[in-house]
Amino acid sequence: MQERLGEIQNQAKEDLAKAESLEEVEAIKTRYLGRKGGVITEVIKAIPGLPPEQRSSTGKSANTLKQEISKWIEDAKGKFVGKEQASDSKKMFDLSLPGEHKPYGHKHPLTQTIDEIKGIFKKLCFDIEYGPEVEHEYYNFDALNIPADHPSREDFDTFYLGNKRLLRSQTSTVQIRVMEKTKPPIRMIAPGKVFRPDTVDARHASMFHQIEGLMVDEGVSFSDLKYVLTLFAQSYFGQDIKMRFRPSFFPFTEPSAEIDISCSLCKGKGCSVCSQSGWVEVLGAGMVDPNVFDTVGYDSEKYTGFAFGIGVERLTMLKYGIDNIRLFFENDLRFLSQF
Ligand code: PHE
């Protein structure tokens, strides 16, 4: 009987190796393991008729072989199932089915604003410049005529990194970097991130974006500054935009101004974004202080220039009626997909 089991084992192995489809494997399964007439089933059924001393060992061997053949059959099935499914799906490819929807991404609203502003200034022949976010104190303060005891240097107004390095708190750093490496005439804008340890509220975040502007040449005057900024505001918001120039102070410009845009959220009535004033400050600007020219080695008798810094978030909020700066940074697609 043991010999017969050996033969069955070899035969089953051979049959399975020859099988070329799932159907053939199923047929082999019936032939060997089928309840009625299966080769193994018949062997097991015949055991009670064997001499008593052979029954137990033959039973064990037959069961082992049954398990072995079952496993081979499952393996063989596995080989065909994948293949047949693949060829089935090829056969069933239906051109008329709707495609898989892959939503398009798009630029973040702040990037869209920056791109739009770059476009406006490119038309006025301004170059686009970039500077580092991790800066030396020299570029963020000293070279910008900001004295050692100026409040903006305090720990609670600037993120210090140690070793005279900091996260720049304004893009005015790029004015110095560009003037150091180029001679006038200069017309440039510099978009980028700035960092301040402000308490976060509807209008303030600890990281936001500015676009710095600088124009230096012989005979540049405050009326040029006013002209360029008015042109810019009208291009961005439309001809009817209401602007307000307020006298102000920055250590690196003299005279200086802050420029407000009428609050489009409350139509000038007063809301949390405009601090109930009806106006939102979006720009700081002024004529470059001669001390700054002296620091970068420009002849301050010969050259004059203007500089400005635009708050990108504020501008975007006003244009689209967004009442909370935090929405830009929460990455909520329900908000972002509206732009
Ligand atoms: N750097 C100033 C700020 O961050 C803005 C500014 C830029 C003012 C250029 C004048 C000239 O507030």
283-332 pLDDT tens trace: 999 999 999 999 999 999 999 999 999 999 999 998 998 989 999 999 99
Angle between helices 222-237 and 109-123 (to 10 degrees): 130
Closest protein CA for atom 10 of ligand 1: 285
SS (HEC) of 57-80: HHHHHHHHHHHHHHHHHHHHHHHH
Q: Residue 308: count other Cβ atoms within 10 Å of its Cβ.
A: 23
176-204 pLDDT, tens digit per residue, is 999 999 999 999 999 999 999 988 888 89
Over the Cα atoms of the chain, what is R_g?
40
Nearest atom, ligand 1, residue 169 CA = 4
Closest protein CA for atom 12 of ligand 1: 284
pLDDT band, residue 109 (cuts 50/70/90): very high
pLDDT band, residue 16 (cuts 50/70/90): confident
pLDDT band, residue 87 (cuts 50/70/90): low
316: Cβ below 6 Å to ligand 1?
no
- Return the DSSP state at 48: G
What spacing in Å lies between the alpha carbon of 106 and ligand 1's midpoint? 30
Contact call for residues 217 and 305 (beta carbons, < 8 A) = yes
What's the CA gap between 189 and 127, in Å, rounded?
A: 6
Q: What is the pLDDT of residue 194?
A: 97
Q: What is the pLDDT of residue 133?
A: 98
285: Cβ below 6 Å to ligand 1?
yes
Averaged confidence pLDDT in the chain: 91
21-44 pLDDT, tens digit per residue, is 888 888 899 998 898 888 888 888
Q: Is the pLDDT of residue 86 over 70?
A: no
- The sign of the torsion formed by the CA atoms of 322, 323, 327, 328 equals positive
How wide is the angle at C-alpha 253 spanned by C-alphas 169 and 268, nearest 5°?
75
Share of the chain above pLDDT 90, in %: 56
How does 264-293 read in b/e, with b if 16+ C-beta sit within 10 Å? bbbeeeebebbeeebbbbbbbbbbbbbebb
Mean per-residue pLDDT, 83-88: 65
Q: What is the pLDDT of residue 117?
A: 97
133-166 pLDDT, tens digit per residue, is 999 999 999 999 999 988 888 877 899 999 999 9
pLDDT band, residue 168 (cuts 50/70/90): very high
Closest protein CA for atom 7 of ligand 1: 309
What spacing in Å lies between the alpha carbon of 152 and ligand 1's midpoint? 12
Q: Residue 201: count other Cβ atoms within 10 Å of its Cβ.
A: 11
Lowest-pLDDT range of 25-29, 69-73, 78-82: 78-82
Q: Is the pLDDT of residue 99 over 80?
A: yes
Q: What is the pLDDT of residue 255?
A: 97
Nearest atom, ligand 1, residue 285 CA = 10
User: What SS3 state is found at 86?
Assistant: helix
What spacing in Å lies between the alpha carbon of 230 and ligand 1's midpoint? 17
216-249 pLDDT, tens digit per residue, is 999 999 999 999 999 999 999 988 888 999 999 9
Q: Is the pLDDT of residue 96 over 80?
A: yes
In sequence order, the 6+-apart residues with CB closer than 8 A to the CB of 209 are 110, 114, 191, 192, 193, 194, 311, 312, 313
307: Cβ below 6 Å to ligand 1?
yes
What spacing in Å lies between the alpha carbon of 172 and ligand 1's midpoint? 6
Closest CA to 112 of 323, 257, 322: 322
